[in-house]
Amino acid sequence: MHTLDLPAPDADALAHSAHLAAVLRERIAAHGPLPFSAYMERVLYAPGLGYYSAGSRKFGAHGDFVTSAELGPVFARCVAAALAPALRGLGHGADWLELGGGSGAFAEHALLALASRDALPACYRLLEPSAELRARQQARLRARLPDALFARVQWIDRPPETPWHGVLFANEVIDALPVTRFTLRGGEVFEEYVALDGEDRFVRQDRPADALVAGAVRHLEHRLGRPFDDGYRSELLPQLPYWMQAVAGTLQQGLALFVDYGYPRAEYYHPQRRNGTLRAFYRHRVHEDVFFHPGLQDLTASVDFSALAEAGAAAGLELAAYVPQGRFLQAAGVAAVHAEAAQGLDAAGLYALAQEIKRLMLPEAMGERFQAMLFARGMAAAPLPAELLLAELLLADRRARL
């Protein structure tokens, strides 16, 4: 899509974006081109200015994109149904940690569903780096949850530093981590930077990669069993193992579930995917211009699930299942969730519910593009949620493709 076809932002939004762009230009003028990952980090998370840290609407029909959690209550109810047996089995003091809670929609529906299943965590922790989203989550949950449930919610600034047990959950968080972009020239690894041209416009610039990035790309080639072609461009997350260790390293006993769009490594770095998976979302349009109104659009890249599996293993987690979202929801009992949610709905409500489930489940919608990766740690002693994990989920398991 050409960016000229995108809807124009209003004057306030334009001024906001111009402010962020000016800050970035000053930074580049003073210190030289920014690695793309640093550019992405700033346009998404610069305090008060970045896409996630400032007031742009982001989620839902009037925002830029819709996540599974934003479509309605079904996704959160299914995740709660899937993880409730483990949470109950882990017993008193088991916590739930949600990373990147967005608008708070997931937490709201998950907590209500866990309460109805008698599987409430001692504490529902939200780790949300964006102050603006944290305030939104607080307002939403305070308004919509009974006091006794709201009292269990706690916002934390960094991952738990002391050992804990329970459930870790993240939907569409890894796709929002700043990626390093790389390309190959004459067999050498180059890293993509953001520079300014003679007219002060942002432009991409490739520079010889440092040892960390070059090493990460060579490691990828080694795992793929082939070198990248000249001109091939893609992205990676060299920080993923450290991130995983940080968020899950203190989980002593429990499950960790990550849901996101992505592929196993061989598909992610398929020779024909010559320009990677990085894309921009603006008012439900997907395009490739990462410099379009910085701060007003989301930037995101798909997840390399093989890399996630390795990062989990390095952090001491055991890979329990890797399945497409549609199969995960099926295994979690989406049919029962549907039947329960349908009770008492009028025709319009039933139609909306059916549409929500279709979007979550259909392969061409979110059912196949999104994957669920489940890790376990120290669960041998606790009852595994056998009725879920061992039967349906393991039948659908695609770990062999990683």
For ligand SAM, the binding residues (CB under 6 A) are: 52, 67, 69-70, 99-102, 106, 127-130, 133, 171-173, 176-177
Cα 226 to Cα 45, 215, 217: the distances in Å are 35, 15, 11
Closest Cα to residue 295, out of 19, 61, 104, 65? 19
Residue whose pair of structure tokens reads 């739930």 in the numeric block: 96
* Closer Cβ to ligand SAM, 209 or 357, answer by number: 357
232 CB contacts (<8 Å, ≥6 apart)? 183, 184, 271, 274
CB of 51 to ligand SAM, least distance (A): 9
**DSSP string over 134-202:** HHHHHHHHHHHS-HHHHTTEEEESS---S-EEEEEEEES-GGGSPPEEEEEETTEEEEEEEEE-TTS-E
Question: Strands, E, within 176-333: which ranges?
Answer: 180-185, 188-196, 202-208, 233-236, 251-263, 279-282, 285-287, 298-300, 303-304, 318-324
If 0-12 CB within 10 Å is exposed, 13-18 middle and 19+ buried, where does residue 6 land?
Answer: middle
For ligand SAM, the closer CB: 110 or 184: 110
Q: How far is the CB of 264 from ligand SAM (least distance, A)?
A: 22
What's the closest the beta carbon of residue 52 comes to ligand SAM, in angstroms? Answer: 4
Please, which residue, 261 or 322, has the CB nearer to ligand SAM?
A: 261
Q: Residue 35 or residue 101: which is nearer to ligand SAM going by CB?
A: 101
Contact (Cβ atoms closer than 8 angstroms) between residue 175 and residue 303: yes
Instruction: Give which of 321, 329, 397 is closest to 358, Cα–Cα.
Output: 329
Between 177 and 334, name the residue whose CB sits nearer to ligand SAM: 177
H or E segment at 42?
helix 36-45
| Residues 6+ away with beta carbon under 8 Å from 231 | 183, 184, 185, 274
DSSP state, 230?
T
Query: Residue 171 or 306: which CB sits closer to ligand SAM?
Result: 171
Q: How far is the CB of 283 from ligand SAM (least distance, A)?
A: 15
C-beta closer to ligand SAM: residue 337 or 366: 366
User: Are the beta carbons of 134 and 126 closer than 8 angstroms?
Assistant: yes
**Residue number, 130 or 183, with CB nearest to ligand SAM:** 130
Q: How far is the CB of 137 from ligand SAM (least distance, A)?
A: 9
Residue 390 CB, shortest distance to ligand SAM, in Å, is 27
Question: Which is closer to ligand SAM, CB of 106 or CB of 232?
Answer: 106
Report phi then psi at 324, rounded to 5: -65, 150
